[in-house]
Structure formats: C-alpha cells, structure tokens
C-alpha cells in the first residue's frame, strides 16, 4: 500500500499550482504575445511594403478597404508602417532590457564578489546613474556620436542597469555571507559556478520582475527620442517616429499619430500590469 501511494504523493507535490490569473492580466499577456507575433511575422502579415507609396490614396482615412488604418501624406499604408514600427520598437526594448539586465547583474555580482573598491565604484556609478535624468545623458551621447540602430540599442542598454546591480549585489552578498553560496564555495566550486549555477537561478525571479519594470520605461524612452527625431532614423521607423511624423498632420490626418500612440500606451500598460501582478505574486519585498 505504502509503495503505491508514495509516488502519487510525490507527484502531487511536484505539480505546480498555477495561481489564478486575473482577467486584466490575462488580457495584458495576450496583448504582449500579439505584439511579439506581429513583430516576428512582420513581413508575412504586412499588407504592403514599408516604403510602398499609393499616390492615388494619400491621407486616406481609416476604414478604407485597401488601407484599414488609412495612409499618410506620401500614400504609405499606416498599418504596414505600424507593423514594422512595432518590430523595431520591440527589438530595441528587448535588446536594451536584456543588455541592461546582463550588465547590471554582472556588475552586481562583481561588487558582491570583490567587495572593497570594486563595490564602492559600482555603487558610486549606480548612484550617479540614478541621480541623472537618463534622457539628458542619452541626448548627450547621441549628440556626440549621431544615431544608429546598434548604438541606440546599446545606449538604451545602459538604462536601468543600476537597479539590477543593486538587487544582484544585495542578494549575492546575503547568499555568500551565510548559506548555500558559501557552502558551494567550500565544496571547491569556482566563483563562476557559484554565481551562475547557484546564485543566478535563485535570484532570477526578482531580476525578471525588475525587467518588467524597466521594459516599459525603455519603450517610452526610445519612442520619446524617436519622436524628437533623434532616435531611430529613416528609412527605419519606430512607434515614436510615427507619432513624430504624424504630428505634422494632426489637423488633417490624426490617425497617423493616434494609432502608434495607442500601441505605445497599451504595450507599456500591459507590461506594467504583468509586472505588478508578478511582483505581488512572487516578491512582495520589491516596493
């Protein structure tokens, strides 16, 4: 009897009980997934080429059978441009969030591992980053170097690194001071094994929550820069570019500006909702 019931109880313990997802969060997840699908399949689902001009249908209103979301002043399909803008904006946001998470976590680990001067230097840089408006620093860099897609992703990748660094440092110090990390170290493991195989998985949930907080801010930052004409450069287009371009036609063709503006707002809103929910579920200590 006992032999039969034992595996069952183990299996029951193993099944992860998914917490109930509130409808609003479910919608947010669906939205983000939809945006990702659009970004990945941009070529396949876009009705026209990005730069294809339909000169007979310039500034046509949404609802047009040939151009669902209307066209701009050059007769370019708004829906098509929107789809490619989503791709570029998400590419920058994902790339930058990943870069900043990697830089921040790495610096946090270095601070925790070496302590002393290295730690002070990291904390000083983090203080500096947190106390300067990032938009100004970003504008300064763009002024000196000009704008290109890799530079923009790299630049945005410096946004928010200090949050990961602080979290990674704090959690790594508490892990190495007492407990599993010092236990692994005294087994003879090299630091890379201690940090990557043990500490990183243990703090991953906190880092992922931080990513959901940084991600919408990166979207806002990039769209702001592109809106100002200093971010993504034509012929490439991002959501911020479209708003900036559409602003010229705010009186005659407001849809050019309103659709990308709505996408920006809904996407940041969706990721924020998911992040808030995850934070409440997984890590109430993050304020």
Residues forming contacts to other proteins in the complex (CB under 8 A) are: 6-7, 10, 13, 124-125, 127-128, 131-133, 135-137, 139-146, 178-180, 182-191, 193, 198, 201-202, 216, 220, 223-224, 227-230, 240, 243-244, 247, 250-251, 254, 257-258, 261, 264-265, 268-269, 272-273
Which CB, 46 or 243, lies closer to other proteins? 243
Give the shortest CB-88-to-other proteins separation in angstroms. 16
Taking CA atoms, 30 is separated from 27, 36, 161, 250, 271, in Å, by 5, 10, 28, 30, 11
At closest approach, how far in Å is the CB of 47 from other proteins? 25
Residue 148 or 202: the one with the smaller Cβ distance to other proteins is 202
Total residue count of the chain as it appears in this document: 287
Inter-residue contact 255 to 70 (CB < 8 Å) = yes
Quote the least distance from Cβ 235 to other proteins, whole Å: 18
User: Which distant-in-sequence residues (6+ apart) come within 8 Å of 117 by Cβ?
Assistant: none
Residue 188 or 235 having the CB closest to other proteins? 188
Cβ closer to other proteins: 56 or 131?
131
Nearest distance from residue 219's CB to other proteins, in Å? Answer: 9
The least CB distance from residue 79 to other proteins, in Å, is 19
Sign for the CA dihedral angle at 126, 131, 133, 137 comes to negative
- Residue with Cβ nearer other proteins (48 or 154): 154
Helix 200-227 to helix 78-114 angle, to the nearest 10 degrees? Answer: 140
Question: Which residues, in sequence order, are CB contacts of 180 under 8 Å at separation 6+?
Answer: 198, 202
Closest CB to other proteins among residues 53, 266:
266
Minimum gap (Å) between residue 114 Cβ and other proteins = 11
Nearer to other proteins, 164 or 255 (CB): 255
Q: Measured in whole angstroms, how far is the alpha carbon of residue 270 from the centre of its chain?
A: 12
Structural tokens at position 101: 């998470």
State in angstroms the smallest separation of the CB of 65 from other proteins. 26
User: Given the complex with other proteins, which of 106 and 228 has the nearer CB atom?
Assistant: 228
Q: Provide the minimum distance between the beta carbon of 56 and other proteins in the complex, in angstroms, as a whole number.
A: 26
């Amino acid at each position: 009897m006992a032999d039969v019931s034992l595996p069952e109880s183990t299996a029951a313990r193993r099944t992860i009980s998914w917490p109930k997802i509130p409808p609003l969060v479910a919608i947010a997840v669906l939205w983000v997934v939809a945006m990702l699908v659009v970004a990945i399949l941009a070529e396949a689902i876009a009705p026209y080429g990005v730069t294809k001009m339909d000169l007979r249908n310039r500034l046509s209103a949404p609802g047009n059978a040939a151009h669902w979301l209307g066209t701009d002043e050059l007769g370019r399909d708004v829906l098509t441009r929107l789809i490619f803008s989503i791709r570029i904006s998400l590419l920058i946001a994902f790339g930058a969030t990943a870069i900043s998470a990697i830089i921040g976590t790495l610096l946090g680990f270095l601070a925790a591992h070496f302590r002393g001067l290295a730690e002070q230097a990291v904390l000083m840089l983090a203080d500096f980053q947190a106390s300067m408006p990032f938009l100004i620093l970003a504008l300064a860099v763009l002024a000196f170097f000009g704008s290109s897609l890799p530079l923009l992703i790299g630049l945005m990748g410096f946004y928010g690194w200090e949050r990961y660094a602080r979290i990674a440092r704090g959690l790594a110090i508490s892990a190495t001071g007492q407990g599993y990390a010092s236990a692994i170290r005294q087994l003879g493991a090299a630091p890379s094994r201690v940090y990557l195989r043990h500490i990183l998985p243990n703090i991953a949930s906190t880092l992922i929550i931080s990513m959901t907080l940084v991600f919408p801010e990166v979207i806002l930052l990039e769209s702001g820069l592109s809106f100002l004409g200093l971010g993504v450069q034509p012929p490439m287009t991002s959501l911020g570019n479209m708003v900036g371009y559409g602003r010229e036609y705010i009186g005659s063709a407001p849809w050019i500006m309103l659709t990308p503006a709505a996408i920006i707002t809904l996407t940041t809103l969706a990721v924020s909702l998911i992040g808030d929910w995850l934070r409440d579920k997984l890590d109430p200590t993050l304020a």
